[in-house]
Amino acid sequence: MTIMKATFCPRTQSVLSLNHDSELYGHDAEHFNPGRFLDADGKLKSSIEDTRDEGHFSYGFGKRICVGRHVANNSLFIHIAYLLWAFNIVAEVDSNGKPELPDPLQCIEGLTIRPVPFHCNITPRSKDVAEVITQAKVERIGEGS
């Protein structure tokens, strides 16, 4: 249980709604729209107050904001960049040739929220990808591992 500004928040209360606040993110806050964070010139809008320039509440806010958020953001960036460098990730298509995309509003809740499973095809971007990955593995953990 938490009491914040005289408001009782039950232990099971989800904070997901903080990142879907239509007053902050607009009428389409429930939809994926990276453009909401850009101004008319395509530059980043100023950040939401108390989020230390994060622009969202995923790491908390104010004095209790996550101290490891920079490590988390940088780790995510490196891993996603590596995956996008190495692989083509394409949704499977139905019998009419249309991509079978998952509902972006469906998720699996738990310690972290994650998307529902979906089918996709993941293929190397080039024939050199496997060699580069194998070489990196050998350098990191040794031959024959």
Which residues does the annotation place in the binding site for heme?
A: 66
Beta-sheet strands, E only, within 55-124: 87-91, 107-108, 114-115, 120-124
Known binding positions: 66
Q: Are 110 and 141 in contact (CB under 8 A)?
A: no
Q: How far apart are CA 58 and CA 20, in angstroms?
A: 11
Using left for φ > 0, alpha for ψ between -120 and 50, and beta otherwise, residue 6 falls in left
Cβ count near 73 (within 10 Å):
13
Q: How many Cα atoms occupy the beta-carbon half-sphere of 143 within 13 Å?
A: 0
